Amino acid sequence: MSLRDDISLVDLVRTTDRLAEKGDRITQLGICPMSEELIRAPIELALEYDFPVLFIASRNQVSEDEGGGYVMGLTPETFVQKILDIEDSLGLNGDSSTDYTRFISIDHCGPWYKERERKLAEEEAIKSVKNTLVACLEAGYSGFHIDCSFKPPLSVQMNEEKMIELTVDLIEFTERKRIALKKGTVSYEIGTEETAGKSVSPEHFNSSIESMLSEIEKRGLPEPVFVVGRTGAEIKMLENVGGFDYTSASSLPEVAREFHLGFKEHNADYLSDPILSLHPHYGITAANVGPCFAAEQTRALLGLAAIEKRKMGKDSSNLYQVMSEAVLEKAPFHKWLRRKDEWTVDELQKKSAELLAVTLVCGHYVYYDEKVREAIDRLYSNLKKYGLFENPETCVMKAVKKAIMRYVDAFNLQGSTSKIIKVTKDS
């Protein structure tokens, strides 16, 4: 098996469009690497079911800051190395007739995205983004979502015109640094609106793209590959509360195609199977998913912990208590709450069902907290020691893979790598 690094994100989008023209419609799946399992599982599934892997890591998940991101403390460099190590363990650098495609991108790379930077002054926030961009270039990322849509502090004035200017400034900065670092071509994803919430009209979407591309062309910069558009999706707790907008989901991709851009949907978590199966039909080029996969991993862990608790009582790992306490202390759980559920820490400690739901939603933030990690390790050890499960880690991986495969099947992705390689070769 070998990594086909001769196929770029541009090739992926163009061949996805060509396949659609022939009636073979697919939607690519962008996966947030919220745990080691969510790095390994997509790779293993891609080898088995022949589809491209698109990792889309946010600045909170993987960070160049001291201590790294909340996922294993990974930096862009160690994140890429982790992927390479997993690929090596699966024989992906050996000679084989089976090809494999994988892309690594930074998601939501813009000012005020990091939890701890929400109140930074504009100059400091942009400096931090530039540090991220350089770190990702040095690590070998292939995709860059430049996202200036996050709400700045009250001291900063922001409108769509300034958002476009700042986005193009950051693309220009990245290109200059890429050339200075002698790195290969990279691809860009753009947008002028927050990725969650009510959809916009095709007319406004068209106007925003025109303005952005005009400025990009004026500065002699490469055309983006993806444009982000809202389909009404918005995640709160364990559901997609936004209300999928069928009209926007079918019309906005058409607008993107007029500009030769792939249409990217964010927040596709928790959508129903029928809605997911419409994505290829509507021409949605790619959709990003993550929280719902992590929730299934947490659900599997807590399910194992419940079995262990019944067997061992007070001598168990007590994973749920350890994890829920860590979530209340360290996870940004408030951003996932619905307006009607603005619970405080004290209130959640008294609401068993609500605390469980919050832990399922936010458990991934604390997987690598020292106490939580110790509890997970102890859980696995106890389950093996008492003969309850020979390999509990496999049970967790199966839950993660099952969640991912729901999207792979709905998006018609099985066998798509071979199709993409063939179309690329023939063109």
Domain residue spans of the chain: 2-289+412-426, 294-399
> What average pLDDT does the segment 297-309 reach?
97
Task: Retrieve residue 293's tokens.
Answer: 């996969």
Better-predicted residue by pLDDT, 160 or 56: 56
- Quick one: pLDDT at residue 120? 86
> What average pLDDT does the segment 198-220 reach?
91
Q: Report the half-sphere exposure of 64 (CA within 13 A, side-chain side).
A: 17
Tens digits of residue pLDDT in 171-180: 999 999 999 9
122-126, 152-156, 162-166, 347-351: least confident range: 152-156
Tens digits of residue pLDDT in 250-296: 999 999 999 999 999 999 999 999 999 999 999 999 999 999 999 99
Mean pLDDT of the chain: 93
Does 97 have pLDDT greater than 70?
no
Better-predicted residue by pLDDT, 321 or 199: 321
Find, among 269, 262, 417, the residue nearest to 336 by Cα: 269
pTM for the full predicted model: 0.95
At the second CATH level, the architecture of 2-289+412-426 is Alpha-Beta Barrel (3.20)
Find, among 89, 31, 19, the residue nearest to 61 by Cα: 31
108-117, 270-279, 345-354, 412-421: least confident range: 108-117
Tens digits of residue pLDDT in 74-92: 999 999 999 999 999 998 8
Does 1 have pLDDT greater than 60?
no
> What average pLDDT does the segment 34-49 reach?
97
Task: State the Cα–Cα distance between residues 282 and 231, nearest whole angstrom.
Answer: 11
Tens digits of residue pLDDT in 356-413: 999 999 999 999 999 999 999 999 999 999 999 999 999 999 999 999 999 999 999 9
Neighbouring residues of 203: CB distance < 8 A, sequence distance ≥ 6: none
Find, among 398, 403, 384, 400, the residue nearest to 307 by Cα: 384
CA torsion, ordered 108, 337, 376, 399, to nearest 10 deg:
-80
- Quick one: pLDDT at residue 2? 75
Question: What percentage of the chain carries pLDDT values higher than 90?
Answer: 82
